[in-house]
Amino acid sequence: MPDRIYLDNAATSFPKPATVYDAVDHYQRKLGVAVGRGAYAQAMEVQAVVSRCRKKAADLLHAESPERIVFTFNGTDSLNVAIHGILRPGDHVVTSIVEHNSVVRPLSELKSRYGVEVTTVAADATGLVNPGDVKSAMQPNTRLVAMIHASNVVGTVQPVQEIADIVRKTDALMLVDAAQSAGHLPIDVSQFSVDLLACPGHKGLLGPLGTGLLYVRPGLERQLASFRQGGTGSNSEDDAQPGFLPDRYESGNHNAPGLFGLEAGLEYVLNRGVDSLRDHERELTAQLLEGLSGIGGLKTYGPLRVEDRLGVVSLNVEGFEPQILAGILDENFGVQARAGLHCAPGAHRCVGTFDSGGAVRLSVGPFTTGGNVDSATRALRAIAGAG
């Protein structure tokens, strides 16, 4: 087998920093107790690490306090907590064609269940949404604007700040899906003026699978209903869910080993710096796009300028179905990429790849090297030439 060249970081980052593996192993072997459920030494150590994790997430996002960060089980869970917690019968939502199914499907469910009205704005051929279209789509009963920060299909960075400025002048709330941008782009929730921001812990934050975050703006807990109820280790004498953060939205046992790993991942991101990680990603993306540009029969999608996109490049090669192409890359060259519709069929319709079964997506990460990128472009050149 050829050496493994992992270029599927948009799905989940790999490898993780060594400290992430060490943190998870330390919890599993030495601690192994629940979060917030005891006062003995091991329980106190677990609580301290989880509290540090919350503080580091708040620092990364520039949240007002650690309590504004709610732990969830993935980005999809975070989005569901937000969407199901905010929307009521008769509400109207504005979203975009390039959203992930983690937004599309909850909205579809609420449309079917409660008659929530959804307006989906278009995007151009690069996947970019026009803020003016969002403004035009808003109605007097618009309750929520749900917008992806960066496309998981073509990496297009959306004008979130401009859209948030429009929303702020209305009674609507702004939800940002930062699944691809957290840890990749600088995010300041106060500067963005967003109400809710959701992301997983296992992508740009470099934590394990099974972790996620939801930022909740101060005061919004009075409007955001709890998605699930149960034991929190607090107010145990009361049959009602606690009204304070983060307990209001964190019922049941936490994914403690995952949060140990997430704390270590966040520490890595904070120490290396998001700007430094962004520079690394931009350099590799430019190298990738340049290497692909001269290959006959190969087409890439999304913005031309690396400044307008993240390290996500989707492509097709003439004569090869996406799944077949990805299989050849893996089996013959060790290049691991994801093919298909990437749980975002609207984005593929937008860039023109839906009818062909989607595309092959290459996505770089903090530990991707220039040599990895060269290997991938050489592989694609060989495949295209053979085709």
Classify the phi-psi angles of 378: left when phi > 0, otherwise alpha if psi is within -120 to 50, otherwise beta.
alpha
Q: Cβ distance 115 to 89 under 8 Å?
A: yes
Q: Cβ distance 52 to 234 under 8 Å?
A: no
Q: What is the DSSP letter of 309?
A: B
387 band by pLDDT with thresholds 50, 70 and 90: low
CA–CA separation, 200 and 75 (whole Å) = 4
Q: What are phi and psi of 319, to 5 degrees?
A: 95, -5
The sign one gets for the Cα dihedral 227, 347, 153, 183 is: negative
34-43, long-range: CB < 8 A, 24+ apart: 34/253, 34/254, 34/256, 35/233, 35/253, 35/254, 35/256, 35/259, 36/232, 36/233, 36/234, 36/254, 37/233, 37/253
Q: pLDDT digits over 311-330, tens only? A: 999 999 999 999 999 999 99
Separation of first and last alpha carbons in the chain: 22
Three-state SS at 91: coil
Q: pLDDT digits over 152-177, tens only? A: 999 999 999 999 999 999 999 999 99
Q: For position 41, what pLDDT does the model report? A: 94
Mean pLDDT for the stretch of residues 94-113: 98
CATH number of 274-386: 3.90.1150.10
Instruction: Say which residues have a Cβ less than 8 Å from residue 239's Cβ, sequence separation at least 6.
Output: none
Mean pLDDT for the stretch of residues 110-134: 98
Instruction: Say which residues have a Cβ less than 8 Å from residue 105's Cβ, sequence separation at least 6.
Output: none
User: Maximum distance among all alpha carbons in the chain?
Assistant: 70
CA–CA separation, 313 and 365 (whole Å) = 12
The sign one gets for the Cα dihedral 336, 337, 338, 339 is: negative
Q: For position 1, what pLDDT does the model report? A: 59
Task: Name beta bridge partners: 314.
Answer: 361
38 band by pLDDT with thresholds 50, 70 and 90: confident
Q: pLDDT digits over 127-155, tens only? A: 999 999 999 999 999 999 999 999 999 99
- Determine how β-strand 212-216 pairs with β-strand 69-72: antiparallel
Task: Name beta bridge partners: 361.
Answer: 314, 338
Q: Cβ distance 203 to 209 under 8 Å?
A: no
Where do the H-state alpha helices sit in the chain? 18-26, 41-61, 75-86, 101-114, 131-137, 160-168, 189-192, 256-272, 274-293, 322-333, 345-351, 370-386
Q: Find the length of the chain.
A: 387
* pLDDT above 80 for 305: yes
CA–CA separation, 249 and 91 (whole Å) = 22
Query: In this structure, how many other beta carbons lie within 10 angstroms of the beta carbon of residue 237?
Result: 4
Angle made by CA atoms 368, 369, 373, in degrees to the nearest 5: 90
59 band by pLDDT with thresholds 50, 70 and 90: very high
- Tell me the CATH architecture of domain 18-272: 3-Layer(aba) Sandwich (3.40)
Indicate the residue type of 159.
P
The CA–CA distances, whole Å, from 144 to 119, 160, 300 equal: 11, 14, 33
Three-state SS at 146: strand
Provide the token pair at 288.
Answer: 């990738």
Task: Name beta bridge partners: 88.
Answer: none
All structural domains of the chain with their residue ranges: 18-272, 274-386
